[in-house]
Structure 1
Amino acid sequence: MRSIPGPAGVLEEVVRLIELSPAPAALVSLPAWQVRAANEPLLALLGLDRAAVPGAPFPRSLMPESPVPGAAPTPRNPVAARFQSGDGAEIEVLKTCNLVTIDGEPHALVMVMQRADPPGAASFANPDEGARALLSTLSFDAVGVVDVQGNILYASPSAETITGYPPEELRNRSLLELLHPDDRALALASMGRAFTSSDQVESGIFRFRHALGEWRYCETAGKAVHDDAAGTVLVIHYRDVTESVRNRAEMEALTERFSRIFELSPLATALIRDSDGILTEANAAFLALCGCERDEVVAKLTTEAFWPIEEERRAIGQAIRAEGQVHDFPLRFRSRTGREYDTLNFAETMLVNGETCVLGIAVDVTDRNALEQRLLQVEKLDAIARLAAGVAHDFNNVLGVIKLEAGVLGRNSSLDAEAREGLAEIVTATDRAARMTRQLLAFGRSQAVVQTRIDLREAIAELSSILRPLLGHAVRVDLDLSEGLWPIRADSAQLDQVLVNLALNARDAMQGKGVVTIRGRNETFANDCLVPRPGDYVVLTITDTGSGMDELTRTRIFEPFFTTKAPGKGTGLGLATVHGIVVQHGGTITVESEPGAGATFTICWPRFDAAAPLPLAPHP
């Protein structure tokens, strides 16, 4: 239906155009079919007085055929009719109706082409001047008449604006010649159906060749009518819809591209209906994040299923309604399995099929947030390390004084055996404390790593006296060290750090109660994947009776920041540090464990080679 909106006076302008038309024409209000305006030719045809026009019923014989009496007419559907005029004469007319909206109300513009004494096909080629003027003034489409052979008998003046051909050049031409070759079979079938059934209205979109050579899309509606002179003919209304077809094709292409971008986006994206929060569409990334299949989500679940915190949902909803969009909005996202993610959300409102929807994008930042927390932990550890290094320096000075004074006292010949034994214990304790300060200095990166020859039996035996009180009375430490254990090349402070870390890790795995066994043996490897190169190694194993670990944990146990402990209970750096120290010394470390069967860490440490030069100590 064509709409003619406008300011006051539009109705008057339409009435004026009808009055100026030399062909019979009327403006009829719908659905009552009451005449609002009619020109003199139509009044004469109907035999009506102008005073009786407003509100007069429009003759039923001139109404377009409709399955329901009084219903709105079908536009672009001209039909032939016999009509009894006001003076009683029976005449033939071709009636045409176009729907329009004037100031919001439906109306029909009706024209009547009088066909008294029709001279066969010539009546279509040369309509009377009144019909020609009305076609030019009131018709919104071009009109053509075609015979059963497909020859054009008539073309309205507006045909030239669509086809580029003047009406006289179209007459007697074959309609099929003007159609695209790919559309001719479809057009022939449509024409055949129309000629077979006079009640059939055939419509479609076909490509016509313009006079300039380009193909134009035309929407058509045709109906067969009977003419006494020309026989059965097909009256076709058509209009140029090329731009509409092209726009629709472009829109479909844009929609397809958007759909592909939507689906292939690596970001979790969903379309949410604003009225009820139902998810109407979701891409593969969103489905992967929530752990659902498409048919489990789309048109079934609401935002509440995935964004569990009501306060957050309310806050983002208020922000979207206030601004129309949000950026970097943090929300907790819960998958179907119950796993929760930290997400940053981007959303914008849009109209989809007349409904207000929200296009939402969720970016999983769980790992990023965890990494930020780990970096903060590293910064705290660095600060602690610097503080520890400062304390160690001062403590080392105190130890130096104690050891010096103990040495001076030891040279006093008057001391008895008990006193000398006490001084020896002071010196031993001072040396042990010095090694501890070296560990603190190494932790704070203020102490150079110095590799020396170390007797493992002696080092482990001495360290075990420290480990027992450190691990607690409920943890037993057993030593099983082979006789003649080879010496190794290592930094003593780092060796202590390796053993202490592994012992503490074992204590935690046993929840503070169990047995830690440290074993040592000599072994020569020829070609073995356990060691980086063939040679002599001291193999140390640290075994606990703890809870053990599964395969996934075992494969990640040496990763930096990986920890199985509760938040705030571990840094995930202990075993990573152990691994780094062992590898730097040319050794290897592996772990064997099963759930409920404890764990065994195996270290292969290279044997001390006196012929090999000791590495230079790096700068602190």
Structure 2
Amino acid sequence: MTRPSASFDDSGLFRVLFDMAPDAMIVVDRLGTIMLTNPQADRLFGYPTHALHGRPIEDLLPATLREVHVAHRTQYMDNPRVRPMGAGYELTGVRADGTVFPVEIGLSPAQVGGKPLFAASIRDISETQRARQALARARYDTRVADISRRILLAATHDAAMTEIPALIAETLSVPTVAVLLVDPHGGGLRIAAAVGVDDPMRILLTGLRGSQAGDPPPRDDLDGGLVTRTPLGANAATRPALDAVLALLPDREAPAGYLAVVIPQTETFDRDRQHFLQSVANVLSASIQRGRSEEQLAHAQRLDALGQLTGGIAHDFNNLLTIVSGNLQLLEWDLEADSSARETIASASRAVERGSTLTRKLLSFSRRQRLNPQQVRTELLLADLSEMLARTLGERIRVVADCPLGLPAVFADPGELEAALVNLALNARDAMPRGGKISINARLHEQTMDGGDLLPGPYVVFTVVDSGVGMLPDVLSRAVEPFFTTKTGGKGSGLGLSMVYGFVKQSSGKLSIHSEPGSGTRVELYLPSVEYRAAVAPAADIVEGDETVLVVEDEDEVRRVAAFFLRRLGYTVIEAGTAKAARTAFDDHPEIDVVFTDVVLGGTVTGLDLVNEFQRERPGLKVLMTSGYEYGAPEDDRRRMGELELLRKPYRREQLATSLRHVIDGG
């Protein structure tokens, strides 16, 4: 290699090269004092020429990083074996006007006149970083779209959820990701899906709690408060200190849970990663809500189908009971003097009553039971009920009732409401074979918006809580289905909760059941509330009469029994087995005073259609309806029945006489 001539000025050449270097060049001494800068460094950091000379190098860093940089610089410069650090070390610089920007640094030691100096080449990488961020964001967006597609195509959100942690872990290059859902029963967090979670990590993640159950205490709020970073703790034997980055899974009323990413406390989690995590959390939350809505719809449809089936069975069975009961009463009339026959008839009649009670429960579930809603004083109901239950449930069961003073009255059928609460108390007792506590309380709930099951307005909520064995999820999902029971043979029909469900829904309320194995069961009944006003007792009814009655009934045996009853009571009876026959009879007999008709007539014309037509022709015509349903046909409800009185099958002659007289006399 040819050396330059001695006349060549090396120092001048080096100075020219130093000043012309494309990168910013800064030379500092062992104490970090800036000794020399080139024009590019002055321009990059926004200082006049030579203004940086004599200043500490930390002046070019944000205030939050200066103390840490002093420690790192000192450790590097004091190392006797210090070597060039090379390019690629990224830092954050700050200009004279306070602007923060990313830089890449290369650092090399030098000895000048026996004095250690350190030369740094600095490059602004704002554009490079922006390009990197754009690529990362595009990759994140692509992954979010992929996750959304997978969730959409999955059979259930649970199936899709199992894939998500691994996809997030791959995208963010982290080992541990978990979906944490708030347990609606225990109140803590449970892991629904995860990757990289062993038993110690499971304990750390499910142990996250805050002021509210399942709400982890944030250390740093990120991404507008939707993402939090909180200390997770460490296993001293195997792990460094860890943080959990938690993206909120939003839900209608309270968070459904969190999407958790576990990282070392020393690792940064930039805003792009936060935004990606929250975007996935939003998609997952929407899937969870959709899945829950689909489950609720399927459950409601299943119960509605069961309701239609049980209602139809109850209707046909009531017709049969009416025939049996009617013929027993005819025998009772004919054999009044025969005491042995009366006892036999009474036994058979009691069996009919038990059958009628069974169909009433079925109709209650199918929401076709005829209710008599009234104002019920909540505090008096609970006081009487708690006293009665304390005596009947046994010494091993402690009953505690609580009702705030001044709670509004509830608008419901008092007998059915009491039966519903008793049913719940009996179920609670059966769930505590070794004894325990049953809490029954009431509170006011104001529904401010349409909640699907509840219309806006005030409701009284009755809550029955036990400390029993609880229910498994599959049992809980079928708890209100008729004839479903976990009790052994002879100890339950499976109609208790189904009857409660039907009564509450028919009363324009809502039934809510929460249960967990080993943690007891909580049942809530939402019923409309009203301001209490004292009721007026009705006047007594007259039993017999001599009017002309048109009896319309498609079941021949039922019609025969009804006609016989009415004739024995003094009425003139005209019979019709179809709507067409009733139309003819009505035209031929203008002397008809009252029409007694079944709602379901076996054809396209119902009893309601028939009487509406008759009343248009003869305003003021008296009508008494009857049906094996509590309301009438499935397509009929209380609104269509209007002011018409309905006599439920099976009926006794006394009930028929009273109802008919009540209609004729305008009661």
- The TM-score by the shorter chain falls in which range? 0.3 to 0.5
| TM-score of the two chains, using structure 1 as the length reference | 0.33
Q: Give the number of the structure with larger relative contact order, counting CA–CA contacts within 8 Å between residues 6 or more apart.
A: 2
TM-score (norm 2): 0.31
Greater strand content? 1
Structure with bigger gyration radius: 1
